[in-house]
Structure 1
Amino acid sequence: MREHEARGKKPNIVFIIADDHRFDGIGAYGNQVVQTPVLDGLAAEGVRFASIYTMGGQTAALCVPSRACLLTGTNVFRATVTEKEVTLEETENPQLWAINPSCPTWPEVYQREGYRTFGTGKWHNGNGSFARSFSDGANIFFGGMGEHIGLPIHDYDPNGIYDSDQAATSEKFSTELFAEAAVDFIQQYKEEEPFVLYVAFTAPHDPRTPPQAYLERYPSEDMPLPGNFMPEHPFDNGELHVRDEQLASFPRKPEEVRRHLAEYYSMITHMDEQIGRIVQALEETNQRERTIIVYTADHGIALGQHGLMGKQSLYEHSLHIPLIMQGPGLPKGKEVCGLGCQIDIFPTLCELTETPLPRTVEGKSMVRMISGEAMAARKNVFAAYKNVQRMVSDGRWKLIRYFRSGGAGTNRTQLFDLYNDPGETCDLAEDPAKREQLQRMEHELLAWQQSVEDPILHERGEKG
C-alpha cells in the first residue's frame, strides 16, 4: 500500500522545470564543478533518472516543442498546432506556440480530477493552454526569453485572456520572482484537495546575468573545458548560424567558453538556492511528506561542445536532460539507468498518483523502471531538429542523420558508441566493422519516422 493510500489523500505535485539545464549540470549527475546542494539532496532522497531524452522540435526555439511534448505526453510532430518547420522569427507568432487542443496537458487532467493547479514562471505554449491547465497562478511570463529583471509578468486571469498590455514589468530577478510565487502559494494553501504547483524557471537560459555574489563563486579561469570542446563544428549541420551560435565568436575561443560556463554554473547555483526555498516552504507547512517533487529541464545546451553554443543539434548535450523525483511512493537514493523520454513523465506521474491517463498520451510509464521490474521504458529514443537532422539511440549506439535543406546542411550520417565515446567525438559511420549497427539504427529511425508521420518523409518522397 502506498503512503498516500494509507492517508486517504492523493499526494501533491511540485513540478519544477528549468530552461537549458543539461543533464550533467548537476552535482548528483557527476559534475564536480557546479554547486547544487538542494538538487543533490533531492536526488539522494529520491530517484535520479540517468537516461532521459527530449524529442527536439521543428523550430530553433526548442522550449516550445519540448514543453509541449512534456505537457501532453505526445510526440514532437503532434504536441503543437503545427508540425511544419518553423523559423525563429515565426515562433514569435503566439499562434505557433500553442499546444494541440486535442491533447490535454497533465495539469489539465489533474485539475479535472479535483486538484488545485497553480502555475508560475515561463509559459511558451499559448495563453489558451495555460488557461485550460491552471485554476490559479501568479507571476506568469508568456514568452521565450528576456532580461531576468524586467520581464513582462501577468497576474492570474480567471478569464484566460492575458492581454499583453496588462503585463507589469518585473523588478526582481526572474528566478527569485517565480520561487517567491511558489513559496507564497505553499504557505497560504489551506484547502483539503491536493495541489499541483508548476514552477517554470527561465534560468539558466541566456542572458546569463546572475547576481554578482554567485558569479564570484566561479572564476572563469578555473572552468575546465569540456572534453569534446572544438573551435568549430566539423561540417555544416544545417544550423550553424542560428541566434544561439552568435553568442560567441568564430572560431570558439577557450577563454570565451570558460566565461560562458562560469555564468551558466552561476545561474544554476542561484536557481538551486531558490528551489531550496520551495522545499523549505513544504517542510514548514508539513506538506513535504505528502508531496512528489519533480525536477527536470526542457532541453540542454552545448556551450563549446562540438564547436557549438546552442541547443539546435541532436548531440547528447542538447537532448539529454536531468530528471529527479522525490516523495511518497518513491524509493530513496535510487538511480534509474534505463532509457526514457520526456513524454514518459506524464504517464509516470499518473501511475504514481493513480490518476486516469488520457488516450492521447503516447508516453510510457517509468514506474516499473523505478521498482526494478523493468530495465527501460523503451527500446530506443528518437529526436528531430527542423528538416535537417534526425536521431535514434538505443542507449549505446546512436545515429544522427543530416539532410540538406534550403541551401544549408550536409547529407551525411554519424554513428557513435556512447559506451566508449560518451562525448561523441569518434564517428564510426564509415567503419566497415560497424556496418551491422549502422544499418540496424537506420532501419529503426525510418520505422519511427513512418509511425509518427514525420513531415520530412513527405517532403523528400521517402517511404522506405
Structure 2
Amino acid sequence: MTGATGGMGPRNMQRPDTGRSDEGLANVLLVVVDQWRGDWMPADGDGPRPPRLPALERLMREGTTFRRHYAQATPCGPSRASLLTGMYAMNHRVVQNRVPMAGHITNLGQEVRSTGHMPALVGYTSWMPDPRMTPAGDPRYRMLGANMPGWTVLASLEEPDFEQYFGHLRRNGVDLPEDPFDIWRPADGIASQPAAAVPRQLSDTAWATDAALDHITARRRQPWFLHLGYWRPHPPFLAPAPYDRLHAPDRLPAPVARDAAGAHAGCASAHPYQAWLAATTRASDFVQGAPGLAADLDDAAVMRLRGQYAGLMTEIDDHLGRVLDHLDRTGEIDRTLIVFTSDHGEMLGDHRLFGKLTHHDAAFHVPLVVRDPRAPCDARGRVVDAFTESVDVMPTILDWLDLPVPMQCDGASLLAFCRGETVAGWRDAAHFELDFSDPVTSAAERALGLSSDLCGLAVLRGQRFKYVHFAGLPPLLFDMVADPHERRDLAGDPDYAAVALDCAQRLLSWRIAHADRSLTRYRGSPDGLTIDGRLIGTGS
C-alpha cells in the first residue's frame, strides 16, 4: 500500500496550461440528488439490476463517469458542507445536521459570484449560520437547515422548511393534512404501499425541475450557473404513480444479508455501534406510520421499498431528460458543464440497515458524472476507476470557469480525467467520516458508554482493504476483494494485524497532511507578510 498522505490535493498539483479560450462556455449545471447509491447506476446485462435511466445513460455516454466516487461525510449537512466548500469534515467541522458552519469558510456560490455570475439555487444546502456572527434568536436555528450565502434562491425546501413546496401544492388544489408531511403517509400502511397522494405533475421532483427550467429559459441570453437539487430518492420511500409500480421486486438487486444478530465475533454486525444502530433505527423514518424497527422489516417489505426507491430514481431521470432536451433545443448543451452527483448513499436494507449513518460503502459510495463540452470526442464515455471524493467537485467547477481554487479546498480538479488524461500521483484511497454523537439526547453516548467527542469514525477505503477507525470503539477491517459486502471483520485476526496497522498509519498520515492549514503558508518576516516565501506586505 502506497501514498502515505492519501494522494494529491490542490496544494500539491499544478493546474495544467490547456491554452484554451472559454468564450461562450459560461453555463454550469450542478445536479445534486439526495441519498442515491453509487451502485444503483445504469447497468447492462441480465439478472437483477438497478433500473434503466435513459437521461443518465446519455450523460454517461457523453461525459465521464467516476466509478469510485465517495461522499466525504454523512448525513446531509456534513456531506453538503464538504461538497460545496471542498473541505473534509475534519476541517469544516459541520459534523451533524443543524451544526453551524464557521463564518470564515467560503463556498462554491460565493466564489462563483465574485466573478459576476449569479449562482442560482433550486433545492437546499443544509447550512446553519455561525452563532458568533448571528443572534441566537435567528429563526434559521429552528429550521431543518438554511441556505448558504452567495446563492440566489429560486425554489427552496429550506428556510422555511418545505413551505414553498407545500404552498405550491395548496395553490394547485391539493388538500394537505394538518401535518403537511403526512401527504407521504401510506393510507394502508407498509403492507400495500400505494402510490403517493401527490400526482406526478405536482411532485417535489417536478416542482424543482419547473423552477430550474424557468430560470434557464429566462437567462437564455446570459451565462447561468444553477445548482439543481432534488430531494429524492430520499425517504419517505413513496413514489407518485406510475413510478410506484414500474419496478418489480424480482428485477431489482436483493439486499446484502446479515448474519442473525451478529452470530460470531468476526461478523461486522457484532460491532457495538452497528448493533446499536440496528436496535434504534425506526421503520417510520423511511415509511411514515410503519411500526417497529427498520431492521425487523420482512424481506417482502424491504423489496417493496427498493421498488419505490427505484421509482423515485426513474422519476428524477425523466425530469433530468426534460432539462437535457431543453438544452438541446436551445443549443446550450454544448456550452454547459453538467455535473451529476449525490450527497450520500442509502443502505436500503443491506445488513438489515436503512439510512446512511454507518461505515458501509452503500452509505458513502455515490454517483459522479461530469459532461464537459470541451472534452475531446475520444474521451467521451470514459469510466474512471481512480478514487474521487465529494471535495473534488468544487475545484473541478472552479477550474472549468478558470477561477482560482481557495486554499481551504482539500480536493482537486477532475478535468484532466475528463480530457482522457492520466493524472500522476493521484490518491490511491478514498476517505470519509461520520460523527454519530447527539449532545441533545446523548442516546449513542449512553448506550455505548462514550463521550460525545469519542462518537466518531474515519474510514480509509483502498483498492483492496477498507479500514474503519472508531475514536472510542474497536476498529473494523475488510478485504473488499474477497468480501465486497463487508461481512467479515478482519481487525481481530492476527494474520491481518500488519495490514490493520498500516491502514491506521495511513489514515493518521492523511489527517496530518490535510488538517486545517488556512494560515500555515503565511509567514511574518522582517520585510512584511509572505505566502510561500513571496512577499505580499510591506510591514508599514
TM-score by length of 1: 0.81
Residue of structure 1 equivalent to 2:3: none
Residue pairs, 1:209-220, within 5 angstroms: 209-220=238-249
Q: Deviation of residue 148 (structure 1)?
A: 11
Between the aligned partners of 2:206 and 2:425, the Cα distance in structure 1 is 36
Q: Is 1:202 the counterpart of 2:202 in the alignment?
A: no
1:236 aligns with 2:268: no
- Indicate the structure (1 or 2) with the bigger Cα radius of gyration: 2
Q: Which shows bigger deviation, 330-339 or 294-303?
A: 330-339
Between 341-350 and 244-253, report the one with greater CA deviation. 244-253
Matched, 1:137 2:153: yes
Contact preservation (8 Å) 1:230, 1:307: no
Preserved CA contact (<8 Å) 2:461 2:467: yes
Please state how far the C-alpha of 1:433 moved relative to its aligned partner. Answer: 3.1
- 1:209 aligned counterpart, secondary structure: coil
1:179 matched to which residue of 2? 209
Residue in structure 1 matched with residue 530 of structure 2 by the alignment: none
Aligned position for 2:411: 363
Q: Distance in 2 between matches of 1:327 and 1:416?
A: 36
Structure 2 equivalent of residue 336 of structure 1: 384
In structure 1, stretches of 5+ residues that fail to align are 154-168, 405-410, 455-464
Match of 1:459 in 2: none
Structure 1 residues 140 and 63: CA distance shift in structure 2, 3 A = same
Give the deviation of 1:191 after TM superposition. Answer: 3.7
Question: 1:68 deviation in Å?
Answer: 0.6
Counterpart residue number, 2:220: 190
Deviation at 1:230, TM superposition (A): 5.4
Distance in structure 2 (CA, Å) of the matches to 1:113 and 1:228: 51
Residue 287 of structure 1: how far off its partner (Å): 0.6
- Alpha-carbon distance change, 252 to 446 in structure 1, aligned in 2, over 3 angstroms: farther
Deviation at 1:28, TM superposition (A): 4.5
3-state SS in 1 of match to 2:296: coil
- CA 1:376–1:148 in structure 2 vs 1: closer, same or farther (change >3 Å)? farther
Matched pairs, number: 416
Taking a change above 3 Å as real, the CA distance of residues 151 and 253 of structure 1, as seen in their structure-2 partners, is: farther
Equivalent position of 2:350 in the other structure: 305
Q: Deviations over 1:290-335 (max 9, x none)?
A: 0011100000010111221110011100011100011322331011
Are 1:301 and 1:310, in contact at CA under 8 Å, matched by a contact in 2? yes
- Greater Cα offset, 380-389 or 180-189: 380-389
- What's the CA shift string for 1:84-112, capped at 9, x where partnerless? xx5xxxx4x5xx3x433222111221111
1:347 equivalent in alignment to 2:383? no
Shift in alpha-carbon separation, 1:210–1:437, aligned structure 2, 3 A: same
Provide the TM-score with structure 2 as the length reference: 0.70
The residue number in structure 1 matching 2:50 is: 33
> Does residue 1:106 correspond to 2:98, yes or no?
no
Matches within 5 A, 1:50-449: 50-57=67-74, 62-80=75-93, 82=94, 86=96, 91=97, 96=99, 98-126=100-128, 130=147, 132-134=149-151, 136-142=152-158, 150=166, 172-192=202-222, 194-220=223-249, 222-228=251-257, 233-237=269-273, 238-243=276-281, 247=286, 248-330=293-375, 331-370=379-418, 371-374=420-423, 377-386=426-435, 387-402=455-470, 404=472, 411-449=473-511
Distance 2:355 2:107 in 1: 28
Distance 1:388 1:6 in 2: 46
Identity of aligned residues (%): 22
Once the two structures are TM-superposed, the CA of residue 152 in structure 1 deviates from its matched residue by 8.6
- Cα 1:221–1:393 shift into 2, 3 Å: closer
After superposition, give the CA deviation of every residue in 1:40-83 in whole Å (9 maximum; x if it has no partner).
Answer: 110111100011112225xxxx1001001110001103325x55
Looking at structure 1, the residues matched to 148 and 475 of structure 2 have their Cα atoms a distance apart, in angstroms, of 43
Cα RMSD after superposing both structures = 3.2
Give the Å deviation of 1:337. Answer: 0.6
